[in-house]
Structure 1
Amino acid sequence: MSDDIELKFRHVSGDIGPLKVSGSSSILQVKEQLYAQWPKDGPVSTDKPSAASDLRLILGGKFLDNSETLNDLRPSMGELKADTVVTMHVIVRPAPAGKPQTSKEKKEAQQGCGCTVQ
């Protein structure tokens, strides 16, 4: 039996894949492979993540942890035959609103205004 698992990713704008991934791959490695092969055209391309860490994968209603391997998740995938394609849902985390703050700006915002009233 092959260690490879075929994965299809369901996104709100359409499906991605299937991608053939080793069963020993971690969820983080799956996210990196998905990010590298993200569609460059079509409806899904408009929601391209800025990094693999922006992706959240869901299997069986559960968010997957980056350290889990696909082999760890086999019980949730049901019986895997040679032609089985496992569907996971993928969510792209939205970019943070506004420009990113520097550590100095964050500290100033936490301390409040530097004004004094005399």
Structure 2
Amino acid sequence: MAKEELIELKFRLFDGTDVGPNKYSPTTTVGTLKELILAEWPKGKENGPRTVSDLKIINAGKILENNKTLAQCRVPVGELPGGVTTMHVVVRPPLSEKNGEKQLADFPKKNRCSCSIM
């Protein structure tokens, strides 16, 4: 059986700092990557994620699904053997409980428009 080739990834955070690079198996799921990113998240950063569901990983302009493996998510165009692939990490902004409910309740009221064709 051939030795599986590890994938070297680094994760670019919203402020331009990086987590990694580290090597991962092609069978690693996106959900597992999110758990690792959350564990390695730089301490003291504002607006950090609280849970894995607060994170989104983007590769080649696509948001990766938690149940997909790295092998399923990779875009081979432009990748060099032995090179590091950079994936972007986006954090969902935290909403306070009361604020979030109020914004959702007001959302349909504020975003109505009307058009008149003459």
Task: Select the structure that is richer in strand.
Answer: 1
Partner of residue 115, structure 1: none
1:88 and 1:77 mapped to 2: Cα distance? Answer: 15
- TM superposition outliers: structure 1 runs of 4+ over 4 Å: none
Q: Which residue number corresponds to residue 54 of structure 1?
A: 54
Please give the root-mean-square deviation of Cα atoms over the aligned residues, in Å.
2.5
> How do residues 6-25 of structure 1 correspond to structure 2 at under 5 angstroms?
6-13=8-15, 14-25=17-28
After superposition, the C-alpha distances for 1:20-66 in whole angstroms (9 at most, x for unaligned) are 2221011111111111111125xxx2232101111001111111111
SS of alignment partner, residue 46 of structure 1: coil
User: What amino acid does structure 1 have at the position aligned with 2:97?
Assistant: G
- Residue 91 of structure 1 aligns to a residue in which SS? strand
Partner of 1:72: 72
Q: C-alpha distance in 2, partners of 1:11/1:56? A: 11
Amino acid at match of 1:18: P
Which range moved further: 26-35 or 72-81? 72-81
Question: What is the TM-score when the length of structure 2 is the normalising length?
Answer: 0.70
* Alignment pair present for 1:37 and 2:40: yes
Question: Which segments of 5 or more consecutive residues in structure 1 lack a partner in the other structure?
Answer: 110-118
Q: Which segments of 5 or more consecutive residues in structure 2 lack a partner in the other structure?
A: 106-118
